[in-house]
Amino acid sequence: MYDFEMLTVTNNDGVLAAVVDNPPINLITPALFKELATFADLAAADDEARVVLLRSANPDFFLAHFDVSAILQFPIDGEATRDTELKAYHQMCETFRTMPKPTICEIAGRVGGGGGELSASCDMRFGAIGRTILCQMEVPLGILPGGTGTQRLPQMLGRGPAMEIVLGGDDVDAATLERWGWLNRALAPEELSPFVDRLAKRLAAFSPEAVALAKASVLAGCPDPVPGMLEEAYLFQKSLRIPDTMGRMQRFLDIGGQTPEGEGRVGALGGEI
């Protein structure tokens, strides 16, 4: 049922865990995006899965941003238009957010761009002190977080922290992310996986019907994200048409974006574009 090239999926006592492995930085290429979206759909429908867990085979990178070289190929002929249905990336993130079982991200290293947006769409995020770093690096490239980021972050963190993350496009450390509420907890690196495993097994042991109803009740109190995501998609298309945006994205690649060295300092790299 779960046959992927960049995801290794196991089910242990109801904990459906997917380990992402797309060297060197877990860049969200179109191929990895397709696997993540397919996994989300299968996991949502899998009655044997009571908890869904995402983690990385790479301790330095959880999920990087969407492939900028792919974005450079997006068509920009004509004016930007508003869609009436969610884009595919929004749909995937909504599947992780709304499936009737807990979704958990174990973020041992860096995460950013579309990886940050997918993580924020899940129910819980846990990170490692001194290692976990979030960077929504889109604005320095001339675009905006177009995969739910501008919608999730204000709801999760409030306007001020969301603006700092979105507009600043800089690295944010684990301690700050925990204080702001982006991370549920920032743990010592050696404690991260054991803690997440214990929590996932605990949730998987509960009544799946009770867990599903409790999650549905929490979501019922949250604002409807769809109108905002439709507007985000439109504004993202507009950002692609800013005269210098394509040049800024190419400059990002030219100075080391999407290499392990460049991505290891992606916040500073954004300031050099």
> Residue 46 falls within a domain, yes or no?
yes
> Residue 66 falls within a domain, yes or no?
yes
User: How far is the C-alpha of 65 from the C-alpha of 43, rounded, in Å?
Assistant: 23
> Residue 15 falls within a domain, yes or no?
yes
User: How far is the C-alpha of 248 from the C-alpha of 271, rounded, in Å?
Assistant: 11
> Residue 1 falls within a domain, yes or no?
no
Give residue-wise pLDDT tens across range 5-55. 999 999 999 999 999 999 999 999 999 999 999 999 999 999 999 999 999
> Domain range spanning residue 237?
7-270
> Residue 188 falls within a domain, yes or no?
yes
For a pLDDT cut of 90, what percent of the chain falls above it?
100
Q: Counting beta carbons within 10 angstroms of the beta carbon of residue 243, is it exposed (0 to 12), middle (13 to 18) or buried (19 or more)?
A: exposed
Indicate the average pLDDT of the chain: 98
Give residue-wise pLDDT tens across range 179-201. 999 999 999 999 999 999 999 99
For the segment 67-76, the average pLDDT, to the nearest whole number, is 97
> Residue 2 falls within a domain, yes or no?
no
Give residue-wise pLDDT tens across range 161-180. 999 999 999 999 999 999 99
Give residue-wise pLDDT tens across range 105-139. 999 999 999 999 999 999 999 999 999 999 999 99
> Residue 238 falls within a domain, yes or no?
yes
Give residue-wise pLDDT tens across range 221-247. 999 999 999 999 999 999 999 999 999
Domain count for the chain: 1
| CATH number of the domain bearing residue 233 | 3.90.226.10
How many CB atoms lie under 10 A from the CB of residue 213? 12
Amino acid 213: pLDDT:
98
> Residue 152 falls within a domain, yes or no?
yes
pLDDT band at 1 (very low <50, low <70, confident <90, very high): confident
Structure tokens at 268: 């500073």
**In 3-state terms, the chain is what percent helix, strand and coil (to 5)?**
50, 15, 35
Whether the Cβ atoms of residue 214 and residue 128 lie closer than 8 Å to each other: no
